[in-house]
Amino acid sequence: MRPLIGVASSAFYDSFTDTLFDCAERGVVETCWQRLCLTGKMLRHIRMAGGAAELLSVKSCEDEIETDAEKYDAFLFCGGADINPALYGEEPDGSLDMDAQRDAFEYALMKKAYEKGKTIFGICRGQQMMNIVFGGTIHQDINRMNPDWTIHQTPYPMDGYAHTVNILEPRFLPPTGGAVVKVNSAHHQAIDRLAEGFIVTAATGDGIIEGIAMPGYEKGLIGVQWHPESLADKDMFHHNFFKMLVEYAAK
């Protein structure tokens, strides 16, 4: 039987769902379309890797979150809006377009999934949420901190590579055949203080944390800052991120 993966993506349930198409600004339409495409790619590559994937809707009732945490073998937390800095004890200082309902749902779900010993992977925002849930913090706007970090915010993560990352802990990433890999990039926030119990698995030469993992968690607690789903069709390293997810879920 295929491992069942719950995918928490914002494509279908953030504030854009209340915006009529005729009234939507171009930026809103482009963002929605991009998230739909990225979500579809994640679902496809989970299936290609041998898993079964289901999209999760936002829930606020504790018993519904408990049901989700129990039902799935693994969870993939995906990219999307900035996370409310109140969750890590800070005031907004560069955070934009926050989604309070999604934040509350994913924060609670990740904690429940961890308590139940489920596999947990994170992409982009998902990695940042992982760090926050376990007590870390994030940089709210890396572009204001270092002008060179603007390379991390390309407008379309589906459009090729943006920079390289250095692999520091290869056991928590797909096989690469080397110490450096090419990735895409579409974020203006990044991990600041790393949560206790985690290690950095990948980083850029300019100091951005690009991958994290909790070594002591047997079922897999692993995040990356880039979007492997948008490179996975042509690059096996990125497809194998989803294969690794499925393999951990099957343990």
DSSP the chain: -PPEEEEE-STTTSGGGGS-GGG--HHHHHHHHHHHHHHHHHHHHHHHTT-EEEE------HHHHHHHHHH-SEEEE---SPPPGGGGT---SS--S--HHHHHHHHHHHHHHHHTT-EEEEETHHHHHHHHHTT--EES-HHHH-GGGGGGB-S-TTSS--EEEEES-GGGS---SSSEEEE--B-S-EE-SPPTT-EEEEE-TTS-EEEEE-TT-TT-EEEESS-GGGTTTT-HHHHHHHHHHHHHHT-
User: Catalytic residue numbers?
Assistant: 124, 227, 229
Contact 149, 142 (CB under 8 A): yes
Q: For 188-202, what is the mean pLDDT?
A: 96
**pLDDT for res 147:** 66
Would you give the distance in Å from CA 164 to the centre of its chain? 18
Q: Hunting for tokens 């800052």 — which residue is that?
A: 225
The chain-wide mean pLDDT, for the chain, equals: 90
> Could you tell me how many residues make up the chain?
251
**CATH 3.40.50.880 is the classification of domain 4-249:** yes
Contact 95, 24 (CB under 8 A): no
| Residue that wins the pLDDT comparison between 162 and 165 | 165
Q: Hunting for tokens 């520091």 — which residue is that?
A: 168
Residue 148 has pLDDT above 80, yes or no: no
- CA quadruple 171, 149, 145, 15: dihedral sign: negative
Residue 13 has pLDDT above 50, yes or no: no
| Residue that wins the pLDDT comparison between 178 and 16 | 178
Residue 237 has pLDDT above 80, yes or no: yes
Residue 154 has pLDDT above 50, yes or no: yes
Residue 48 has pLDDT above 60, yes or no: yes
- Dist. CA 170–CA 215, nearest whole Å: 12
| Residue that wins the pLDDT comparison between 169 and 92 | 169
- Dist. CA 26–CA 181, nearest whole Å: 33
**pLDDT for res 126:** 97
Which residues touch 202 (CB under 8 Å, ≥6 apart)? Answer: 165, 166, 167, 168, 169, 173, 181, 209, 210, 211, 224
What token pair was written down for 58? 């936002």
**% of the chain at pLDDT higher than 90:** 69
- Least confident among 27-31, 64-68, 119-123: 27-31
Q: For 62-84, what is the mean pLDDT?
A: 95
What token pair was written down for 18? 């209340």
In terms of Cβ atoms closer than 10 Å to its own Cβ (0-12, 13-18, 19+), residue 47 is: middle
* Domain locations in the chain as residue ranges: 4-249
- Least confident among 30-34, 54-58, 174-178, 219-223: 30-34
Contact 38, 158 (CB under 8 A): yes
Question: pTM of the entire structure?
Answer: 0.93
